[in-house]
Homo-oligomer: A and B are copies of this chain.
Amino acid sequence: MPLTDPDRLFPADPKVRGLARALYEAVANRPIISPHGHCDPRWFAENARFPNPAELFVVPDHYVFRMLVSQGVSMDDLGIARNDGRAVVQDPRLIWQRFAEHFHLFRGTPSAMWLNHSFEHVFGIDAVLGPQTADQIYDQIEAQLAEEAFRPRALFEQFGLEVLATTEGALDDLSWHRAIAESDWGGRVITTYRPDAVVDPEFEGFAENVVAFGDLTGEDTNTWDGYLAAHRARRAFFRAHGATATDHGHPSARTENLSAADAGALFDRVKNGDTTAEDADAFRGQMLTEMAKMSLEDGMVMQIHAGSRRNHAQQVFENFGRDKGFDIPGRTNFVGALKPLLDAVGMEPSLTVILFTLDESVYARELAPLAGAYPALKLGPPWWFHDSYEGIKRFREQVTETCGFYNTAGFNDDTRAFCSIPARHDVSRRCDSAFLAELVATGRLREAEAFEVAEDLAYALAKSAYRL
């Protein structure tokens, strides 16, 4: 019995299952468009081997280790480095053993499906991970990681990636992307402009970041105009390294559309990072609209990932830093929050703003009605916790009736777990096939149309929405 069921995620009813399978088979081997994610471009620049199973699957993946933490395993025992850079436990086999002992915690979760998919389809494993099988599976993965075929570039090709977008901060020198471009390797790895560190007055080191932003671009970031010019310069630099999109991770979807004078005055108040919470929030909101206006000029697709309350556990943040599994979603308002941006540029058909949410209650109430009306808006796929069987089902069920399929932007994996990329796109393709088969079975879509839509959801929509 394989680790993953060949008919997984298809409806149980035999007839509907047959149609879902046919739809899936039509798109299963299409190239992967990965227009948004957090892989490290260095992997593809250096093409070095991945260090070991624990550092491939556990240590860098806060999706995974926070589940063990939630059941009382300490971060120290999982090899998570403290802020001083020191990991208390470093033996990867010990970490792996602990992971294996707690693997049952993932029952019923997408993490289990992604991990099993990677184990089976990338590393050829057929045993369920557990205390008894931990060592054998460790050895098997470890041996394969030493092979040429398991280096990053080889896996990139094996995975069928047509394009992979990474995400870099505004101050990044993009040297790894340059190295990839200058190499003899043909894989398309592009960057994305993510300026949070120079846009959010509450970001650690914001004031210094703004100074560095000026140094990097030769613009006078002490003035509002110079600061905007620096953004334009960096956006052009990122585009020269393949970027077709920007990305913005804000606590809320608040936007503002101030006059130039008011925006400049606001910038003067926040530029030293020493400001009120309200000014900081307003400035983030103003910058979303500025970014949208620049997108209208330079054609970059704009992504807004709103609503994560980052670093919720103070103690974890102080001891271990960011991205440690304690980013918790909160209620997010889009209808009022986006109005200033939309009144400014929302009716522009040449602009594309892709919205993501962690608050599913807005799918049907706010996002689908907005995307089903404004030419500039599209909906990104289910994000983060919702990139799963039930999550994708809820998304399709709640948005399709109001905004259809063509106001959505295909799938993206948004992952830093490289080996999970095929698994995630496979889940998406299966879930969409299942949804389409249900539509046909209940007379809501004709079968021939379902095949066209399946292709659009698996491949074409991501490519066109991100202008790839």
Contacts and interface: CB of A to CB of B under 8 A. Distances in A.
A335 B330 contact: yes
A259 interface: no
A388 B328 CA distance: 28
A386 B333 CA distance: 20
Interface stretch (A176-184, A264-272, A312-320): A312-320
A385 B364 CA distance: 8
Contacts of A291: none
A391 B312 CA distance: 28
A339 to B, nearest CB: 7
Given A330-B336, A343-B314, A369-B328, A12 B441 contact: yes
Contact of A8 (B364, B377, B404, B443): B443
B375 A72 contact: yes
Contacts of A13: 12-13
Nearest to A7: B443
B398 A369 contact: no
Q: Which of A106, A404, A453 has the most CB of B within 10 A?
A: A404
A146 interface: no
B9 A11 contact: no
A309 B336 contact: yes
10 contacts: A12-B15, A12-B438, A13-B13, A67-B404, A69-B375, A70-B372, A105-B404, A364-B385, A369-B385, A390-B397
Interface string A126-162: 0010000000000000000000000000000000000
Contact of A404 (B106, B330, B401): B106
Interface in A353-403: 358-361, 364-366, 368-375, 377, 385-386, 388-391, 397-398, 400-403
A270 B386 CA distance: 43
So how many copies of this chain end up in the complex? Answer: 3
Contact of A402 (B109, B315, B374): B109
A331 interface: yes
B446 A70 contact: no
Given A360-B364, A403-B70, A406-B105, A335 B343 contact: no
A373 B404 contact: no
The 7 closest A-B pairs by CB, nearest first: A8-B443, A5-B443, A72-B349, A12-B441, A108-B400, A361-B361, A314-B343
Contacts of A333: 330-331
B366 A329 contact: yes
A339 B368 contact: no
A401 B443 contact: no
Given A9-B443, A401-B388, A401-B391, A366 B330 contact: yes
A365 B361 contact: yes
A431 to B, nearest CB: 10
Nearest to A309: B335
B108 A439 contact: yes
Given A328-B366, A331-B333, A401 B373 contact: no
B342 A375 contact: no
A107 B445 contact: yes
Contacts of A109: 400-402, 404
Given A9-B442, A108-B453, A326-B373, 13 more contacts: A9-B443, A10-B443, A12-B16, A70-B403, A104-B449, A105-B406, A109-B402, A328-B335, A328-B369, A331-B333, A361-B361, A368-B385, A385-B402
Given A128-B446, A364-B385, A445-B107, A371 B70 contact: yes
A442 B12 contact: yes
